[in-house]
């Protein structure tokens, strides 16, 4: 579409798939376009695709342009899949139209090797309705959620995320960067799978880990974490983590992992049925005596910060 677009186009379009277009650089030229009914957007293997509306065609002067900007409105979009976008560095900026992307529930980002961030701090609020997030093989990505400068109107914000899967992100240091300055929780998060993140320092900030009451499965494989939950900045009394619905916990190929949380704390895994700890040479979870006797009944795990984790009670429903 070379002509200028002003306003709504394809008013009834609900699904758009753009795939295997090696020379495509933009969707159109124009001042503003809106897809009022679009619910599913899929863009795959379009290595030269730079932006929906490209504001500056000159590759030398365009700098880093967001793929979606203030010129593109997607008020009904619920599912978005982006894959094989070799030139994608920024998905969006904070100038998006007010209602755009606020209904997004499923997002998959794969094989975007130049992508630098997913949710910058000035964009996090817009995506609290997101339920499923998958990020795979993005070699330049540094973090998923940047929480450093959040500024909410409400004192307590609850995200709707239910499933988080991240794989093959060698430069990611944080999933949630920095302890948020406001009460932020992911109370509906049920499944977390993380693998191939060699520079990941930890998985959860303590403030988020304390409120994972719906978590059911947690898997970490081949990552660089030293602890699962990061130490809080402010001094605090013993921290308590309760996971009333976790049935499966897998920790594998975590060579640097030392503990669950690096300060005095308790953790309760009330319905855990399957536990896998493999090739975690430095982890301090159980004493060898307890492992040998397999007295795995009725558990509370306590860690004093020195030596092995002290086991007073064990998982009451552990089967494997």
The pLDDT tens digits of the residues spanning 139-187 come to 999 888 876 655 554 445 678 999 999 999 999 998 987 655 556 788 9
Backbone angles phi, psi at 204, to 5 degrees: -115, 140
pLDDT of residue 209: 92
pLDDT of residue 315: 67
Q: What is the DSSP string of 134-185?
A: EEE--TT--EEEE-TT---SSSEEE----EEEEE--TT--EEEES--SSEEE
Q: Where are the domains of the chain?
A: 5-313
CB 143 within 8 A of CB 171: no
pLDDT of residue 266: 83
Regions of the chain short of the pLDDT cut 70? 1-8, 55-63, 124, 147-157, 178-183, 234-237, 284-315
The C-alpha torsion from 144 through 150 and 155 to 161, rounded to 10°, is -20
CB 27 within 8 A of CB 48: no
The pLDDT tens digits of the residues spanning 217-230 come to 999 999 999 999 99
Place of tokens 């090797």: 113
pLDDT of residue 313: 45
Backbone angles phi, psi at 289, to 5 degrees: -65, -45
**Burial class of residue 265 (count of CB atoms within 10 Å of its CB; 0-12, 13-18, 19+):** buried
pLDDT of residue 5: 43
């Amino acid at each position: 579409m070379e002509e200028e677009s002003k306003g709504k186009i394809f008013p009834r379009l609900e699904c758009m798939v753009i795939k295997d277009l090696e020379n495509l650089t933009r969707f159109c030229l124009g001042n503003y376009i809106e897809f009022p009914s679009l619910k599913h957007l899929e863009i795959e293997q379009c290595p030269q695709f730079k932006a929906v509306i490209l504001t500056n065609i000159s590759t030398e002067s365009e700098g880093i342009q967001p793929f979606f900007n203030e010129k593109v409105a997607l008020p009904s979009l619920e599912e978005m899949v982006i894959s094989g976008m070799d030139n994608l560095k920024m998905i969006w900026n904070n100038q998006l139209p007010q209602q755009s992307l606020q209904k997004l529930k499923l997002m998959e980002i794969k094989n975007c090797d130049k992508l630098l961030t997913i949710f910058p701090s000035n964009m996090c609020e817009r995506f609290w309705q997101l339920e499923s997030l998958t990020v795979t093989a993005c070699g330049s990505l540094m973090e998923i959620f940047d929480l450093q400068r959040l500024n909410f109107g409400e004192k307590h914000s609850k995200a709707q995320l239910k499933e988080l899967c991240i794989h093959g992100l060698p430069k990611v240091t944080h999933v949630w960067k920095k302890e948020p300055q406001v009460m932020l929780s992911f109370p509906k998060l049920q499944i977390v799978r993380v693998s191939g993140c060699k520079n990941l320092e930890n998985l959860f900030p303590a403030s988020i880990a304390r409120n994972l009451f719906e978590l059911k499965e947690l898997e970490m494989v081949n990552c660089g974490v030293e602890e699962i939950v990061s130490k809080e900045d402010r001094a605090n009394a013993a921290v308590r983590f309760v996971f009333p619905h976790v049935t499966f916990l897998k920790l594998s190929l975590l060579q640097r992992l030392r503990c669950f949380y690096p300060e005095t704390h308790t953790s309760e895994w009330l319905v855990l049925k399957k536990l896998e700890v493999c090739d975690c040479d430095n982890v301090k979870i159980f004493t060898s005596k307890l492992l040998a006797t397999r007295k795995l009944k009725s558990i509370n795990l306590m860690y004093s910060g020195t030596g092995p984790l002290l086991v007073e009670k064990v998982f009451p429903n552990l089967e494997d």
